[in-house]
């Protein structure tokens, strides 16, 4: 298990925000393109909020911008992530989405592996130079 998965598991264990069963059943009845549309709605709201936060910070309202940025990330992390987990089986039934998802996962795993290897190597080099 990588660090990101462990962090997500820790967060999901600490913050028990479960989707109501009626919503979960509704999402289960959707087709793949309907599921994609449902997932696009919160993403279309949350992602531009991150840009708005940068503009607010750039306009000199640092605290307000940081609050907007935190709210956008919290919304993305908890709401959109839960929605994606519920809709992922439907989305993976779309062949183009399944291919894109596999490519994304492969690139993510290679990047995390490289970062881990680099971190271990840097720690070995720095601990060797202290002796």
Answering whether pTM is above 0.75, one says no
pLDDT at 94: 92
pLDDT of amino acid 42: 84
Please name the residues in contact with 84: beta carbons below 8 A apart, sequence gap of 6 or more. 39, 91
Contact of 27 with 87, CB cutoff 8 Å:
yes
Average pLDDT over the chain reads 83
With bands split at pLDDT 50, 70 and 90, how would you rate the model's confidence at 81? confident
Q: pLDDT tens digits, residue range 85-131?
A: 889 999 999 999 999 999 999 999 999 999 999 999 998 888 876 55
Q: Is 51 exposed, middle or buried (0-12, 13-18, 19+ CB in 10 A)?
A: exposed
pLDDT tens figures, 2-52? 555 555 555 555 555 666 778 778 888 888 999 999 988 888 888 888 899
Q: Higher model confidence: residue 22 or residue 57?
A: 57
């Amino acid at each position: 298990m990588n660090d990101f998965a462990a962090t997500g598991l820790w967060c999901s264990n600490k913050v028990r925000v479960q989707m109501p069963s009626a919503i979960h059943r509704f999402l289960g009845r959707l087709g793949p393109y309907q599921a994609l549309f449902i997932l696009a709605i919160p993403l279309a709201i949350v992602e531009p909020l991150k840009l708005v936060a940068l503009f607010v910070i750039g306009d000199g309202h640092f605290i307000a911008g940081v609050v907007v940025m935190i709210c956008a990330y919290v919304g993305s992390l908890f709401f959109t992530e839960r929605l994606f987990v519920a809709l992922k089986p439907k989305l993976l039934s779309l062949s183009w989405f399944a291919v894109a998802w596999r490519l994304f996962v492969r690139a993510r795993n290679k990047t995390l592996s490289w970062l881990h290897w680099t971190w271990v190597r840097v720690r070995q080099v720095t601990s060797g130079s202290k002796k």
